[in-house]
Amino acid sequence: MTIPRALLLVALILALAPAAAAQGAPEPRPLPLKIQPAGVESVSLAPAAGGGYAYRVLWRDGRRETLSPEAFAELLYTEYSGRRPLFAFLNITSPVGVAWVGLGLLGQVLFAGRMLVQWLASERSRRSVVPVAFWWMSLGGATLLVVYFIWRKDAVGVLGQATGWLIYIRNLSLIYRQRAPG
């Protein structure tokens, strides 16, 4: 390509670029938020028509509402300032949340308790031992925790607990295959 052609191409690109930009960039997508007051299905933050930002609230009954930052702050303040201390401590907004947290705590007790079982078995044998109960408690605790983390929408917790499943199942299969006659 000769110099005049290259300059012509650059000039053409520079001339058309503002026209392409003027056609408009795609409208920004609303950002989903994890804050969910009682009765709310989802909340997202989006640019408002007149400038600034607005909160788009989808209520569980199907209503949709757009709130200013001040109105959303008032909704949150009203919701969270009146929470019972247990709900605030557990970061939940409904009685159903208590059941979910109970499930998560049970999973954690099973998962942590496996170490106590292993320690006691080793002390009894006077050598390091990993009893079958250890692997069953690992599998049960991890399963309950994965379910809990899915409810919490916590990808790190799900990945952290689910990756152990293969190890726990493999160890149990090795143990039971070894015990099987034949």
Q: What structural domains and CATH numbers belong to the chain?
A: 31-82 (2.40.50), 87-179 (no CATH)
Q: 25 vs 19, 20, 29, 144, CA distance in Å? A: 11, 9, 12, 45
Per-residue confidence band for 38, with pLDDT thresholds at 50, 70 and 90: confident
- 35-64: average pLDDT: 85
CA dist 71 and 78 (Å) reads: 11
Per-residue confidence band for 111, with pLDDT thresholds at 50, 70 and 90: very high
Given a cut of 60, whether residue 67 has pLDDT beyond it is yes
Element (H, E) at 139: helix 132-152
Task: State residue 133's pLDDT score.
Answer: 96
CA dist 146 and 127 (Å) reads: 32
pTM across the whole model:
0.63
Q: What is the mean pLDDT of the chain?
A: 84
Given a cut of 60, whether residue 138 has pLDDT beyond it is yes
Given a cut of 60, whether residue 73 has pLDDT beyond it is yes
Q: 107 vs 13, 37, 72, 96, 143, CA distance in Å? A: 61, 26, 35, 17, 7
Task: State residue 128's pLDDT score.
Answer: 95
| DSSP-assigned letter for residue 78 | H
Task: State residue 17's pLDDT score.
Answer: 58
Given a cut of 80, whether residue 143 has pLDDT beyond it is yes
Q: How many CB atoms lie within 10 A of CB 88?
A: 13
